[in-house]
Amino acid sequence: MLDHLSLMALDALLIAVFFSFLWKRDRRERWRYFWKVFGLLLLGAVAFAWLIYPFPRA
Amino acid sequence: MPERQPASRLALGVLIALAWLVPGLGHALLRRRLRAAVFFVLVVTGFVVGLLLNGELFLPHPGDPLSYLATVASLGNGMLFLVARYLGLGQGVVTAAGYEFGNTFLLTAGMMNLLLMLDTYDIAVGKKDW
């Protein structure tokens, strides 16, 4: 089975491609939008994970 | 704005139903073939990965309000949901390592298809010209 990061990246990839084709018309716009959404989802999740890292579960 | 004719209303309803049933079919019928193919691949990929990860195709659980929202998203998968349920797939294995990830993929795929229905509607009524 894929690890958590790979699965998150795959989900982010599907979502980024989906919205770039749903909302953008031109090829160039789609690429730009794709990298923006993909980067935000991936880096945002990693950043959020680091942010909550110091907080204990209980 | 003139009132929409009953025949075209019916056609619009059928179009939206077909868009729900098969991901991308609404776009294909409106001659947006490239996007139809991309959307089909995306939704089916998300759905299959979700099933492979032992995710659950939700049905309402009494006393669990969030399961109703999850059911709407699961039903968004259209025919994929119906076929998988018929074949006994998507029961969800809560103890499996991929269960939560599988749910995420299945719900994401369903939500994407619901958005595709709205996009199909927008194109069909002329709110979106591409």
Structural domain spans, chain A: 4-52
Residue of B nearest to A10 (CA): B46
Please identify which residue in the block is written with the tokens 């659950």: B56
Nearest CA-CA partner of B130 in A21, A36, A35: A21
For residue B5, pLDDT over 60 is answered with no
Using DSSP's 3-state secondary structure scheme, residue B62 falls into coil
For residue B46, pLDDT over 80 is answered with yes
Average per-residue pLDDT for chain B: 94
* Burial (Cβ within 10 Å: 0-12, 13-18, ≥19) of residue B10: exposed
For residue B80, pLDDT over 70 is answered with yes
> B85 lies in a domain?
yes
pLDDT on residue A57: 74
pLDDT on residue A56: 84
- pLDDT single digits (tens) A2-17: 799 999 999 999 999 9
> B15 lies in a domain?
yes
Interchain contact B30–A (C-beta under 8 A): no
> B129 lies in a domain?
no
CA angle B64, B60, B96 (to 5 degrees): 80
Domain count, chain B: 1
Q: Please, which residues 57-86 of chain B have a Cβ atom closer than 8 Å to chain A?
A: none
B78-90 mean pLDDT: 98
Do the beta carbons of residue B92 and residue B43 sit within 8 Å?
no
pLDDT on residue A2: 76
- The span from the CA of A55 to the CA of B84, in Å, is 40
In terms of residue numbers, what domain contains B67?
Answer: 6-124
Q: Please, which residues 86-115 of chain B have a Cβ atom closer than 8 Å to chain A?
A: 97-98, 101, 104-105, 108, 112, 115
B14: number of Cβ within 10 Å: 11
Complex-level ipTM beyond the 0.90 threshold: yes
Residue, of B47 and B9, whose pLDDT is higher: B47
A22-45 mean pLDDT: 97
Instruction: Provide the whole-model pTM.
Output: 0.93
> B130 lies in a domain?
no
CA angle B32, B109, B58 (to 5 degrees): 140
Residue of B nearest to A21 (CA): B35
